[in-house]
Every structure is written in C-alpha cells, then in structure tokens.
Structure 1
C-alpha cells in the first residue's frame, strides 16, 4: 500500500507544495514544529533513508539544502535545523525546521496554522527559490 507521502506526490492527497523536480518533492508539514517546517522526500517510496541508493541519498540532501536556504531567507529564524527520524511515515523524509530555540526541534510542540497562513508561507519560500 502506498505511503501517505506517495499519495501526496501522486496528487491523491493535497499538500502545501514548496517545490519539486523529477525525483524529489518538498511540502509544508501540516503539524509543524515551527512556521516554515518543511518535509523533503524522494518521489521513490523507500522506507528508510539509508536504504536509498547513494545517488538518491545525495540527491535528496542536495534538494533539501536548496529548500533550507530558501526557508532561511523567507522565514525569520536563527538557522534551519535538519533531522531525519522516519518512524511516523514509512517513506524516507527530511525535516527542515526553522529554529530560534532548541524547543523548535521538539516534536511535542506544534503550531496551529490556517490554510491561508500555510499558503502565505508557501509563497514566501517559493519566492526565495
């Protein structure tokens, strides 16, 4: 059965898409730790990040770097943190989280945003790509 992320890539589930290319897709986390929290995924469904081929892994990191630079320009923050946990969805993914304090990396602290706020964040980040 396809993961929720594969369904997002295939357009079966809506997302707040930041960017995509032939192999990777970036979208806002709908339960963000901080405003601008973005997920970067390979379009190829692979459960664990280290099960990606070396080429796909390096490609995902290159794609994530591009998105992180845009986030840092668009969202006021001290830096953009990167984490890979991979327990909640069986599809390799990178979390890019704007950081102003260490608690922004705590997955127990979630932001509540409206659809309009998500759409505005997308526009800000896309403008920096």
Structure 2
C-alpha cells in the first residue's frame, strides 16, 4: 500500500520536515488550511489509524503531542486542533491545525499556497520553537 506519504518518508518526494524519529515523521501540509498546518505520519504503512497496534498508536499520539506543542509556540493561535480524516491518502495520519476559529478546521476551505521561501520560514519557526 505505497502512498505519497511512503514516498515522502523514503525521501523520493521532498517535504518541509518538522521532526522525525525511527517510527514517525511530521511535515508541513503541501496544501494547508492555515499557516503551520502539519501532518504527523507513522512510517509504518497502515491505512487506518485504528489498525495500528496499541503500542504504535500510543507512540504516534505521544509524538503528535510534542509536535503540537512546538506549533503552538511558533504559530500565533488560540490552540492547535486535531483531525484524523484519512480519506485523501490511504496512510494513517493526523492533521495538526493552528486554530483561531472553528472555521480554520474546515476542509472545504480554499487551501493556502505559500512560496518555497515562506514554507521554509514556517518550517524553521516550528523547528526552533
């Protein structure tokens, strides 16, 4: 079940990586809802998040918590929202979205487009948080 995320994990497709460990990777969403929208992905190819074994599931959420705290420090927002949708890519993943209103987490919103320089600046600010 190779997906675009598998290609990002293997380095075949570039990304704006925020963090990585042996089991997970976090990177900026290529089509973000808001500035700082980040995806957290297990490296294990599993389609549905609830199909992860219990230990991997717990580890994913612990990694996600750390990334959410970095985003909150780096991006002005009231809180960091979480969404697990999984319809767009058949690889388990968590959306971390900086929120200032409920509308910020509406996947029907027009997605933002940033220049490579803007993505790098956002990436740098979250990494350094």
Q: Structure 1 length as normaliser, TM-score? A: 0.97
SS at match of 2:56: helix
Q: Does 1:125 align with 2:126?
A: yes
Distance 2:78 2:12 in 1: 35
Distance 1:112 1:24 in 2: 25
- What's the CA shift for 1:33? 0.5
RMSD value, Cα: 0.7
- What's the CA shift for 1:112? 1.6
Report the equivalent of 1:91. 91
Give the gaps of 5 or more residues in structure 1: none
Report the equivalent of 2:8. 8
Give the gaps of 5 or more residues in structure 2: none
Report the equivalent of 2:100. 100
**Size of the alignment, in residue pairs?**
128
SS at match of 1:89: coil
SS at match of 1:124: helix
Q: Deviations for 1:11-43, whole angstroms, at most 9, x for unmatched residues?
A: 000100000000000000010001000000000
Report the equivalent of 1:116. 117
SS at match of 1:59: helix
Distance 2:26 2:113 in 1: 20
Distance 1:23 1:98 in 2: 24
Distance 2:36 2:99 in 1: 10
Distance 2:106 2:31 in 1: 12
